[in-house]
Amino acid sequence: MIPGEFIYHRPSTVAEAVSILAQHGDEARPLSGGHSLIPMMKLRMAAPEHLVDLAGVEGLKGIKEDAGTIVIGAMTTQHEMIHSDLLSEKLPIIRETSLLIADPQIRYLGTLGGNVANGDPGNDMPALMQCLNASYVLTGPEGNREVAARDFYEAAYFTALAPEEILTAVRIPTPPSGHGFAYEKLKRKVGDYATAAAAVVLTMDGNTVSSCSIALTNVADTPLHAADAEGILTGSSLDPDTVKKAIAAAEAITEPASDGRGPAEYRTKMAGIMLERALARAAERASS
C-alpha cells in the first residue's frame, strides 16, 4: 500500500519545526529516520495530514560528554553511534545494541530519537535507555523539559511527548569505568524485532554487585524497567539462587502478546533466559 495524502514540511530549525507542530496539532507528525512511521502510514495505521521532516534541522546531531553526562542529539543515526569513539569508550552497550538493530542500510538512516520517541514496544533503544537511566529532552513552544526514560512510555505508541513537542536530545549519566554491560536479544532472523531481549549494566565491588540496572524489550506494550530484580541482585554475589529469584521477579512483570514470535508463556521464559545470559556477560566484563 501507499500512504494517504499529506503536506510535507522541511523546517531548518527546531523553533520552526515546533511552530508547525503547534499549528497543526494531532494532524502533524515529526519524521526522523522514518522506519517506524512510514510503514505505519503505508498500512494506514497512521495518517498524518502534515509530515514534518527533521532531517534539515540544525543542531539535532552529535555526541558529546558534558559534566558527567553523555548527550546524544536525536537525529544521530545508529551508524554514527556504532562508530563513535566516545560511546565505545564510555557507553559500549549502545554500540552493542545498535549492531543488533535491523541491517546496515537501515542503521545508516535510523536515528536514536526516532527509535525512542515513537513508543514502539519492539524497538531496542527504549529499554536500553531505561536501563541507562537516561532522560529525554523534549522541546515545545514553552521551551525544554526533561522526562526520564523510565517515565516516558505509557502504552504502545503512547508516550509523554505532547503533539507540539519534539524529542531533541537524550541525556545519559556516564557509567563508572569498569562497569559491566550486555544486551541479549533473541530474534527469529537477522534484522527482526526481538522475541525478547534484556539489557544489563552493573558494577562490582570484589565479588559483590554494588549496583545493577535491568530493562526488558518487547515483552509488554512498553519497555520494562525491572526494579525488583535489580534490588534482589544488588549486594549479592550473583549466586545461582539469587539469580534465579531475580529472573523470576523480572518474568513476573512481563505481559507479552502471543504472536508470530511465539506464545506469551514462551516469550516470558525467553525474557528470563536473555536476562540470565546478559547478567553472566555483564559480570564477566565488570572490573572489581
- Of 198, 194, 196, 203, nearest in space to 173 by CA: 203
Q: Does residue 89 come out as left (phi exceeding 0), alpha (psi in the -120 to 50 range) or beta?
A: alpha
Its pTM stands at 0.95
pLDDT, tens only, 159-210: 999 999 999 999 999 999 999 999 999 999 988 999 999 999 999 999 999 9
**CATH assignment of 181-282, among 3.40.50.10190, 3.30.70.1350, 3.30.390.50, 3.40.50.2300:** 3.30.390.50
Say which residues have a Cβ less than 8 Å from residue 273's Cβ, sequence separation at least 6.
Answer: 186, 196
Class of the CATH domain delimited by 7-53? alpha beta
64-112: per-residue pLDDT in tens? 999 999 999 999 999 999 999 999 999 999 999 999 998 888 899 999 9
Q: For the chain, give every residue range classified as CATH 3.30.390.50.
A: 181-282
Q: Where in the chain is the domain with CATH 3.30.43.10?
A: 7-53
Domain with CATH 3.30.465.10 in the chain: 63-173
What pLDDT, in 10s, does the model give residues 211-227? 999 999 999 999 999 99
pLDDT reported for residue 288: 58
Question: Per-residue pLDDT tens for 140-170?
Answer: 999 999 999 999 999 999 999 999 999 999 9
CATH topology of domain 63-173: 3.30.465
